[in-house]
Structure 1
């Protein structure tokens, strides 16, 4: 078990979607990926109403930057899929 107090750097995104269903789809699509170095990074995905919240907690700004960049790329793909397949 690692000491979470070493994760002193934080970054939070709040991304609004058109509806709650879309924010839930995005959360469920992004959250299954395991963190490779949990002693250096923790990423929490949550959704409330139509907003997806992503909290990054890391041991350095570089760790958070790399993780956030990866999540943004994956989020782009999720949004493109929602645009094509979600008929709400």
Structure 2
């Protein structure tokens, strides 16, 4: 294998790990905060998109991801951004 093939394989593996972790995060939120989980699913339409959004850095949170913001106790900030996304206030 070439270096690029190895790197490509590593990136794919990391992406799979990130997807699995994001789905676990959504599962935990579903158990601990059903209202927030419902808002995530309503906003993004399905679990894959909602889970992905949780772990991707967001400009709304100064480059942090929503999971970091939630773990910092700032649930209301996440809910406010979800509301703005639902109503098309932020791009």
- Give the alignment's TM-score, normalised by structure 1: 0.31
The structure whose RCO (Cα within 8 Å, separation 6+) is larger is 1
Q: Is the radius of gyration larger for structure 1 or structure 2?
A: 2
Of Structure 1 and Structure 2, the greater helix share is in 2
